[in-house]
Amino acid sequence: MFLSSVGFSIVIMSIWPYLQKIDQTADASFLGWVIASYSLGQMVASPLFGLWSNYRPRKEPLIVSIFISVAANCLYAYVHVPASHNKYYMLAARGLVGFGAGNVAVIRSYIAGATSLQERTSSMANTSACQALGFILGPASTDEVQVPQGNIDQVAVVATNVLFFVILFIFALFETIVTPLTMDMYAWTREQAVLYDGIILAALGVEAVIIFMGIKLLSKKTGERALLLGGLIIIWVGFFVLLPWGNQFPKIQWEDLHNNSIPNTTFGEIIITLWKSPREDHSEEPTGCPVEQAWCLYTPMIHLAQFLISAVLIGIGYPSCNVMSYTLYSKILGPNPQGVYMGWLTASGSAARILGPVFISQVYTAWGPRWAFSLVCGMVVLTITLLGVVYRRLIAFSVRHGRIQE
């Protein structure tokens, strides 16, 4: 989990500037596909590795997946070498990296099998903390063969997969849009975006560690379901804060505007003012909101304070929802072999990481942040509604079958 987290966090913020540098034909829409390819690979690999771990020692899929990750990252490091089609080499490299990251299902199934019901939440929180800290604990343990008595609540299983999908969908689109959004809103250069967004990501990692540690104590008092609900509400507030307002507009990037081909718009005064003050040094890297994105001309900018407050709130809500969802999932499954089930949970999360970047890159490019974040807020409201409907069913296997009290 440490290695997967480190490899992902090092790369994610630099993908967009790296892509722009190696292939000038790549646009923001293609960025969504590049980021989604990681999750597509993970979605395909997770059930396969999970099934493998059910019938063979878990060391085997872990070793194979790590070798795949190493090879794929080497390919990513050298995608700038070919003379053409570099963006497609990057697409393939990220897909293979994601395939190697499918070992998360194996790790979670191991934890589920090596812990008791009382230990489960704490152990899952520790694992998530290891992801954020970069520190891994690997105690030896052998799986005890258990014979389950009773059926798994399939409605709860499906609902938890849906919840997990939405949670990862939301965070995937957030981390995808961070770099393009900050470059558009604050006229940051590629280097500035990589540096500043990297610092923000690191700060969110520290915040996540604190949240994971707090969850271990808080879950004993409130329960996993309440923390999951609270996390979703905080995420909703975080995206609501991102909605643009006011009368201050982002700087417009005019680099690719030819002659006087100004798009038709009712905001003529704004355009004339900006047109009279073009960049003086055209040798510098163009910055600002591209004029090809028509919404840049009429959508107010998202203030830096808004963005930072939103990042803090999402940084609180996402870790809470993430660890609570798969902790609840493992408890719902009970003593049954969990490799395949955990594979499907990871696959649903991977599907979210495929669709999230594609969704946000398309909506953001075409309609801008107001539409994009409004749709996300609506999606979170629907997710909270779903949680309310299945709330009473999200209980441990043993509780459902009357072996222990909730």
The full set of domain ranges for the chain reads 2-246+300-400
What's the confidence (pLDDT) of residue 283?
Answer: 45
pLDDT tens sequence across 140-187 = 373 333 444 567 788 888 898 899 899 989 988 888 888 889 988 998
CA distances from 323 to 104, 131, 148, 167, 320 (A): 13, 12, 24, 11, 6
Instruction: Express as a percent the part of the chain with pLDDT over 70.
Output: 81
What's the confidence (pLDDT) of residue 383?
Answer: 93
Residue whose token pair is 């704004």: 270
Q: Beta-carbon neighbour count of residue 204 at 10 Å?
A: 23
Q: From the centroid of its chain, how far is CA 171?
A: 4
What's the confidence (pLDDT) of residue 284?
Answer: 67
B/e letters for 104-135, b = 16+ CB within 10 Å, e = fewer, are bbbbbbbbbbbbebeebbbbbbbbbbbbbbee
Q: Beta-carbon neighbour count of residue 332 at 10 Å?
A: 24
Higher pLDDT, 242 or 212: 242
Higher pLDDT, 36 or 95: 95
Answer left, alpha or beta for residue 264, where phi above 0 means left and psi between -120 and 50 means alpha.
Answer: beta
Please, what is the angle between helix 190-222 and helix 304-333, to 10°?
A: 40
What's the confidence (pLDDT) of residue 149?
Answer: 52
B/e letters for 13-28, b = 16+ CB within 10 Å, e = fewer, are bbbbbbbbebbeebeb
What's the confidence (pLDDT) of residue 263?
Answer: 44
Q: From the centroid of its chain, how far is CA 55?
A: 30
Which range, of 26-35, 101-110, 314-323, averages the lowest pLDDT? 26-35
Instruction: Express as a percent the part of the chain with pLDDT over 90.
Output: 14
Average pLDDT score, the chain: 78
B/e letters for 290-301, b = 16+ CB within 10 Å, e = fewer, are bbebebbbebbb
Residue whose token pair is 């008092």: 221
One CATH from 3.40.50.800, 1.10.357.10, 1.20.1250.20, 1.10.1200.10 for 2-246+300-400: 1.20.1250.20
Residue whose token pair is 């965070």: 171
What's the confidence (pLDDT) of residue 221?
Answer: 82
Nearest to 399 by CA among 338, 339, 345, 333: 333
What's the confidence (pLDDT) of residue 153?
Answer: 80
| Furthest C-alpha separation in the chain | 77
Q: Are 254 and 187 in contact (CB under 8 A)?
A: no
B/e letters for 249-265, b = 16+ CB within 10 Å, e = fewer, are bbbbbbeebeeeeeeee
User: How far is Cα 64 from Cα 336, in angstroms, rounded to an integer?
Assistant: 25
User: How far is Cα 35 from Cα 46, in angstroms, rounded to an integer?
Assistant: 17
User: Quick one: tokens of 183?
Assistant: 């470059």
Higher pLDDT, 145 or 237: 237
User: Quick one: tokens of 147?
Assistant: 């014979």
Please, what is the angle between helix 28-55 and helix 86-100, to 10°?
A: 30
Q: What is the DSSP letter of 83?
A: S
Which range, of 57-61, 176-180, 372-376, averages the lowest pLDDT? 57-61
Residue 230 pLDDT exceeds 50: yes
Nearest to 288 by CA among 181, 372, 363: 181
Instruction: Specify the long-range contacts of residues 130-138, CB closer than 8 Å, at least 24 apart.
Output: 130/1, 130/2, 130/5, 131/1, 131/2, 131/4, 131/5, 132/5, 132/205, 132/206, 132/208, 132/209, 132/212, 132/319, 133/2, 133/205, 133/209, 134/2, 134/5, 134/6, 135/2, 136/1, 136/2, 136/3
Please state the pTM of the whole predicted model: 0.63
Residue 378 pLDDT exceeds 80: yes
Residue 384 pLDDT exceeds 80: yes
Q: From the centroid of its chain, how far is CA 142?
A: 32
pLDDT tens sequence across 105-143 = 777 777 777 777 677 777 777 776 666 654 333 223 733
What's the confidence (pLDDT) of residue 261?
Answer: 42
Higher pLDDT, 43 or 185: 185
Nearest to 32 by CA among 179, 244, 227: 179
Residue whose token pair is 């560690």: 209
At 62, the amino acid letter reads: L
Residue 342 pLDDT exceeds 80: no
User: Quick one: tokens of 397?
Assistant: 């296997």
What's the confidence (pLDDT) of residue 29?
Answer: 64
Higher pLDDT, 128 or 236: 236
Residues 19-47, mean pLDDT to the nearest whole number: 77
pLDDT tens sequence across 256-278 = 444 444 444 444 444 434 444 44
What's the confidence (pLDDT) of residue 217?
Answer: 78
At 346, which helix (H) or strand (E)? helix 339-367
